[in-house]
Structure 1
Amino acid sequence: MNTDDGGHYDAAVDALAAREYERAGNRYTRGGRRVLADPRPEIDPFEPDEKGWVGQGLQQLLAAAVAYRVAGADGRATRRAAEGIAATRDLESVLTESGQVACLAEFVADFRVAGGLDGADEAYDDAAARYAAAGEEVDSPQALATTPLFEAAAATIKQVARGQADGEIAIKWEDLHGADPDRPGDFLAHRARFKRQRFAGLVERAVDDGHLAAPRGTTEYNNDNHRCPNCGSNHVNWAGTGILCLRCSTPTKRV
């Protein structure tokens, strides 16, 4: 993370590794609220920001909602999603560039999925339409898609998906984005259309499995010094404050 969240993000990842999903939701919530209040020393969250650093706060609230769902705390997931939607809608008066407004609409749809709220499909359709309309004003959709706001909006679906893909990268750049960056509207609208098809099913499977993977950090295959006590893998993932199994997110043991 590149924002000041007081260490709550790493603590949330540590809780995921311990399979303490409600605690993970709590720490993601605290981190999200802190980033929404004070993202970075030079950033006022109520002033325009071309990078959209405050989006990392929204992402933590979104991850919190998913973690609560996996923990079986559906009421808390719903409330966290409602909180996230309210914060996102408020940010529409601050992040007013058309591409950013469309990304905020994408976040709204994600929160509806994560919280089990109605209207997710319509919200994704709205986001796609906003992206399409913003196309003429976006000079470089690739550059926009690599800003903190857009990367934050892509982070949770990637995290949920990797838990169902043996810890590998299950959703790549080309999955989320269109094939032709010379058509910026369609290039970016593909994000919303892809999520409309996939995100709800991924969340439901995570809930059914009772497992939310840690996000992918720095990884190494065939590490001779660490082994997973759960599945025996020696592929590792530096995430949170420790070294986790790349495959199942269990804390590794030194050998």
Structure 2
Amino acid sequence: MLNFLIAFVFGIAAAIPFNLVYNLQLIYCGLISMALFAVVYLLLARRTMNKVMALMQSAQHDVQANRMERALATLQEGFKYAPWQFYVKGQINAQIGTLLYLKKDFAKSMPYLEKAFVKHWVAMCMLAVSYMKRNKPAKMAETFEKAAAGTRKEPFIWNLYAYCQDKIGQRDNAIATLNKGLKKTGGDERLEASIAALEQGKRMKMEDYGDIWYQFHLEKTGAMIKKQTKAAQGRRKMPRV
């Protein structure tokens, strides 16, 4: 990208006079060149990422104020920085894709999610769920594996992966996924509970994850509201003494 190229050219150009004017050995000129390249690249990369982060923070404020369209427009401005720095395009795509998915604009979210940064596990999971809904189990599994590879210690990924496998009739695969998740995460009560539920022929209780679960829109609105209301009522009850 441009930051890399600028730093590379600067590093070489700045080191040449040390050889031509001061007759410094090439090996030392090379070391100077690499040092200059590293410093300049880090400065340029930091400047670009600061601008990108400012846009994302502005978009986040808009989301919190329920100005979703304005947030999406703000994020679109971030694409102008894509030629300058590695991974910026993928990060912007991930942010836009997740916002569109949250809006239930699944058709529009798909192209962005498909080009999202693979380390953005929420975007990857949303993409995997989208593949499941489109009856593409192989693509679903491949995408979940990418999400898990980037964030192995996050139990929710393994639980969501297994939930989707169970939903399409792959219960044995779902149990295997949960057991794999247990090993990768070092143990988790909710993963263990999900294994026990599936082995007993019961459904997984994903609502224990709260908002992070509901944002994937895998439950019908009526059922989701009923569960959220019940949970809220439970929290409001006076404790017994």
TM-score interval for Structure 1 and Structure 2 normalised by the shorter chain: 0.3 to 0.5
More strand by share: 1
More helix by share: 2
- Higher relative CO (Cα under 8 Å, sequence separation at least 6) belongs to 1
Q: Normalising to structure 1: TM-score of the pair?
A: 0.34
